Structure 1
């Protein structure tokens, strides 16, 4: 049984047709040949794009010479009203300074300290689902709620039920529906002085979210000055001094970072968890393995995470098939020559976890669901060379370890208490805008698991 996969377009379409397809869904706008090509060139009247799948070239861009391939400004434009100058969008020395301040908050010891907050959010998610037993539920709605709860509990020590947290969560759903990444600057080069023509609903939602985050951040600044701030991620980041410049984040800078923590930490985790639960319903034999493992070894103890090996492999396989961020775009700052092609400065270098993770020349059974692959030689080799759900190299997601703990724990805790079952609805159709989600949602029936 093959899990759902978007239909690919014909190999040749006009630029107008491609733009129309891209607006509808990034994934189905791409040709099927990308699942077997090492590199592909896309031409527009304004710039060239090169999708790179060859592991050696991916390594060059992400690991060996990351400074020569900064983040693309084209893709950044649509997200800037919400994210400002966050670590997700910046390059060069600004980005390096931001990472020096942020990274210590996500080191191994800190993850142990915030584990109780992740556990509490996971318990709350299981309790909410208990009220849905016997019903058909749209599971993405529940995973979004759970992931947002984790972010607020670990960042600001408040649950999702907190008034401001709840407002941010609901406003973000409106922001997501506005398709913010689809901005004219992604397709046409515009001078810095020219307006970006953001959709009014995108700008309005972004402004409201930033105002709410500013309120939380200012309150935390006051608590830090008064000496009574909780020892959570926000406090850690806001009090960390850059060892090079001796500076800390200002309130405005911290708002930018909180915005990306919420976007990256909530949106991506919600996507991965929803697809993981769907795959468990699609492959009930694996669901029972995860449930049995959780019932035998799960406890409110950070060390118990290491015992959840089956859940980890299931979640890892989910991230392979449905990487929340399906494509990443860099631009070359100096002339390059890839696979006997000259790459002009400023070209768009597209790295696609979606295609790399399913590449027919790299993976055994690339479209199949097989959590056992991670113990095979092919799986181990591909994990090193062709697996990057959190990016790779210097710009690897600083919250990657956090996300793996969160995803594995919530998946195990839900299946420990509940069983998810397919409904009579058509299989969900993966589409990508901000992250890989289901076009019309993922509907599952929830049953109480007898223990």
Structure 2
């Protein structure tokens, strides 16, 4: 019988020096075992204090009850500035609220039906690429990145990934993803604003190229909107939406910032989860067969088929639990707080970690095991409500969460309908911009008899 994937190494204790070294190279391996059972833990540095909070009541306070009192940490966001500029992902306060008022209407429930055809076409294109690799051992993360980027460009700009500009953005982003760790030095040391940030030359060069390519797409769309020839896709919706309070629209520069985060959040996170889901299906062939049988309904483009992909949705949700694409989120308290009888100073870093919360030994039954059926148990339902935050929660929940829960199960099912995947080397999860495999995920593809 196939054993569950082993969790990352969890040392009982980690020295400050070892933690600092691992924190940049591999944040996941730096986490000691005690953090998977602690409700709260304090971490001190010479520069600031940070607190990991796992207790659901504390997470709820920060993300849902009082989000304005706990803005995103500017120290952590410094690492993403070269690419994301002043996007909705890194802003706080009134700027963020204005951005969300313009963005959110594009992601309302009805848009899922409108964009489904683009997702369907991207899933068909992904299956066609898989068909050319039957009998080969394939690096699956690259294939999933290709599929997720295709979805983004089709739904955002009505362009398939084969379009030369879309392809150029995708190729540059692959360079950026590996060159940029999840945090840079500015996240650990409160550097003065005048001091230069220590980004690698590859990071800065790739970010500049990506933004230049996105600017070309955005400027072209602005001309189409002015001429009345723009397609009715997400880019057009966002660029023509006015803030109901100020009456303003996004400028071209602002739109470049937003498209950069749409690409990061919608492509990178979806690709990460889809790759880990396929790996888990290779580990658990009985579940793989369940999804393949269920996927026989995928014979024509019809949004109603998503209601029939129940196993696929449960598998995708379980993958999000075990391998949350964004492993940690950092907030900063704006006033003194009392948390579990600890005085938390103003300006402290509060780390909310889906990586720990989703595997917490005091919350979940069989926390390190793969069990898609858990979502129908009392424990699973309780934890889904209180301890499952792959898309964050509260006011700053990802606006594309609904899109992800359509796109992921659809592509996963479409691939497994026609193909069988089997395991290669055991992948080791590490945190780049998202949770990826240290040396890739290699799976062998075979054609499935229908």
Both proteins in one fold, TM over 0.5: yes
Which structure 1 segments of 5+ residues have no match? none
Q: Is the 8 A contact 2:418 2:448 kept in 1?
A: yes
3-state SS, counterpart of residue 445 of structure 1: strand
Between the aligned partners of 1:305 and 1:322, the Cα distance in structure 2 is 23
Aligned to 2:446: 447
Aligned to 1:428: 427
Aligned to 1:125: 126
Q: CA RMSD in A?
A: 1.0
1:187 Cα deviation (Å)? 1.2
1:296 Cα deviation (Å)? 3.8
1:185 Cα deviation (Å)? 1.1
3-state SS, counterpart of residue 368 of structure 2: coil
Q: Which moves more between the two structures, 220-229 or 18-27?
A: 18-27
Between the aligned partners of 2:147 and 2:332, the Cα distance in structure 1 is 35
Residue 249 of structure 2 is aligned to residue 237 of structure 1: no
Q: 1:267-346 maps to which residues of 2 (within 5 A)?
A: 267-296=268-297, 299-346=300-347
Aligned to 2:361: 360
3-state SS, counterpart of residue 52 of structure 2: strand
1:433 Cα deviation (Å)? 1.7
Q: Which runs of 4+ in 1 moved over 3 A?
A: 296-299
Between the aligned partners of 1:366 and 1:233, the Cα distance in structure 2 is 37
3-state SS, counterpart of residue 42 of structure 2: strand
Aligned to 1:3: 5
Between the aligned partners of 1:439 and 1:249, the Cα distance in structure 2 is 38
Q: 1:48-447 maps to which residues of 2 (within 5 A)?
A: 48-296=49-297, 299-423=300-424, 425=425, 427-447=426-446
1:37 Cα deviation (Å)? 0.3
Between the aligned partners of 2:418 and 2:315, the Cα distance in structure 1 is 18
Between the aligned partners of 1:31 and 1:298, the Cα distance in structure 2 is 47
Deviations 1:350-394 (A, max 9, x none): 000011001000000101100100000000000000000000000
Deviations 1:107-141 (A, max 9, x none): 11111001000000000000000000111111101
3-state SS, counterpart of residue 79 of structure 1: helix
Between the aligned partners of 1:46 and 1:397, the Cα distance in structure 2 is 31
1:186 Cα deviation (Å)? 1.0
Q: Is the 8 A contact 1:5 1:429 kept in 2?
A: no
Q: Is the 8 A contact 1:276 1:314 kept in 2?
A: yes
Q: Is the 8 A contact 1:298 1:308 kept in 2?
A: no
Between the aligned partners of 1:180 and 1:222, the Cα distance in structure 2 is 36
TM-score, normalised to structure 2, is 0.98
Count of matched residue pairs: 448
1:199 Cα deviation (Å)? 1.4
1:200 Cα deviation (Å)? 1.2
Deviations 1:385-438 (A, max 9, x none): 000000000000000000010001000000001011113x2x111111211111
TM-score, normalised to structure 1, is 0.98
Q: Which moves more between the two structures, 427-436 or 292-301?
A: 292-301
Aligned to 2:15: 13
Between the aligned partners of 1:326 and 1:115, the Cα distance in structure 2 is 28
Q: 1:167 to 1:297 in 2, by over 3 A?
A: closer
